[in-house]
Structure formats: C-alpha cells, structure tokens
Structure 1
Amino acid sequence: MPVEGQVLARAVRQAQYRQNRALDGGLARIGTTPAQWDALRAISRSPGASGRALAAETYQSEQAFGTLAGRLVAQNLIDRHRGRGRSIEHHLTPAGEKVLADGHAVVDDVLAELFSPLSDRDRETLLDLLLRVGRTE
C-alpha cells in the first residue's frame, strides 16, 4: 500500500523538528542560534556577498536577513561595508570566525547523534531521496 504524501511530510517535519531542537540547545551553549550560525556559515562561504545573496543562501527574506545581520554586527561577529552601487558586502570578524568554528563542532556532534541510527548506506539513500524531492526544475 502506498504511503500518503501527508504521512511522509509529517515524518520529514518531525525529523526536522528534532534536528532544530537539538541544534538550538547545542548552539545556545556557545552563545549563538541556528539562524546566526547559518548566516556566519553563508558569509564564510561567500565573503563580500550581498544581503540579497545571503538571504537566498539562508532561506530568508532580505528584510529578515538584514535584521539578523544587524544583530551580528552588534555582537561584533560580522562587518558590513558598502560595495558596488547600493550593495552592502558582508565579512566575518575574528570573533565571528571563532563562533563559526565552535558552531561547526557543535553541529557535527548534534548531527552525528541525530543520524546515528542510520547506516552509511541508509544516509546515502536518504540524501539521494531528499535531493530528488528538493529539486526545483
């Protein structure tokens, strides 16, 4: 009997909820949030990127990313400078690089625990299936 789409969607949300709760707790111990850490990671991957590009990379609206970036500036985790035209470039500060590195360790531990019930083969299969579902073509 085929599994209903709503049952699958609920299982994905349940796994995502468990991941988010674990990341919230782990990252709070180093003084950051998943959204902040994800923004630092995006800036690290694309130093000098615009707010628009970083918003897309972190699945946020430009306004939401701008508010988040303002908090990161206030915490001395990023610098923002005028770029071409009206664009604002984003860069990590040394403090931001430290939080990012500390966050990598936390996230690696949290995700290792989360995915520990799955074999390497199961993880490969899950990744393949999620990538197929997530394609936007």
Structure 2
Amino acid sequence: MGRAVKEAQYRHHRALDTRLAAIGTTLAQWDALRAIARTPGASAHELAVATFQGDQSFGTLASRLAAQHLIERRPGRGRRIEHHLTEAGERVLTAGRAVTRDVLAASFGPLDEGERATLLGLLRRIGAPGEELRGQRPRN
C-alpha cells in the first residue's frame, strides 16, 4: 500500500515539475512561494516545516529564490529573517496555480467527487500530526 501511495505521488510530482518548468520554476520553488504567500514574514524555519524540508535545504532554496528576485528577505526581530514575495514571485505563484489546478484535475480525474473526499479523509486520518508509527504493526 505504501508503494502505491509513493507511486501516485511520484507520477503527480513528475507531472508538476514538467509543467512548472514551462513557466520557469520547479515544484520545490513553487511550493516555497506558496508557503511564503500563505504566511508573509515567516522565518526560514517556519517555511522549512511548511514545505517538508530541513532548515539548511530551505535556506539554500530561499537564496535561489532571492537571486531570481522572486522573494525578499528582510530583517525581523532579533536574528529573525522574514520572507516576502516580490511582484515577480506573485506572478510565478499565479502561473503555478493554473498549472497545479490542471495537474490536480488530471491526477484525480479518475475519481468521482465522493471518492476524492474519501481519499482525502483517509489520508488526513493516517497523516494526523502526533501519530507515532515506530513499533506499530500493520493491521490485516
């Protein structure tokens, strides 16, 4: 079952990366832009958590986004560095939303609305924060 989930995710991410490349970005970059748009002024650590990355990986990614003038890093309180989208970043984010809508529709198109709702509910249930997986045996 885990392999089937990973295969679906892999196909989905490959499609997203391919389509996002056409607008000059990657899935990781677009996801970072989306996280920054959701929480303007967030720290690198907060954004790393939101994008399922380590702090160092996100820092490298943010440096690339800043070099492309897609985000700005501004000093916050203390040593905190805050992240904000630029106008160019907003444009890439908007273009990426159209791409992701199309890919999501294709990825989940074989499922009817009820099946999509069931799948979402099940994935949320097994992925709930605080669930401990170590040492548990699968139920048959």
Q: Which TM-score bucket, shorter chain as reference?
A: over 0.9
* Structure 2: gaps of 5 or more residues: 131-140
Alignment-derived partner of residue 39 in structure 1: 32
Query: In structure 2, the residue corresponding to 1:103 is in which secondary structure?
Result: helix
Shift of 1:136: 2.5
Residue among 102, 108, 112 paired with 1:109: 102
Tell me, in whole angstroms, the C-alpha distance in 2 between the residues paired with 1:43 and 1:116.
29
Shift of 1:80: 0.2
Matched, 1:83 2:100: no
Q: Map 1:63-74; keep pairs closer than 5 Å.
A: 63-74=56-67
Tell me, in whole angstroms, the C-alpha distance in 1 between the residues paired with 2:85 and 2:118.
35
Provide the aligned C-alpha RMSD in A: 0.5
| Runs of 4+ displaced beyond 2 Å | none
Tell me, in whole angstroms, the C-alpha distance in 2 between the residues paired with 1:87 and 1:36.
21
Tell me, in whole angstroms, the C-alpha distance in 2 between the residues paired with 1:127 and 1:78.
31
Q: Tell me the number of residue pairs that the alignment of Structure 1 and Structure 2 aligns.
A: 130
Matched, 1:25 2:18: yes
Matched, 1:14 2:7: yes
Report the structure, 1 or 2, having the larger helix content: 1
Q: Sequence identity of aligned pairs in percent?
A: 62
Give the TM-score normalised by structure 1. Answer: 0.94
Give the TM-score normalised by structure 2. Answer: 0.92
Residue among 104, 113, 117 paired with 1:120: 113
Tell me, in whole angstroms, the C-alpha distance in 2 between the residues paired with 1:47 and 1:31.
22
Alignment-derived partner of residue 129 in structure 1: 122
Tell me the alpha carbon deviations over residues 31-87 of structure 1, each in whole angstroms, 9 at most, x when there is no partner.
Answer: 000000000000000000000100000010110000000000000000001101111
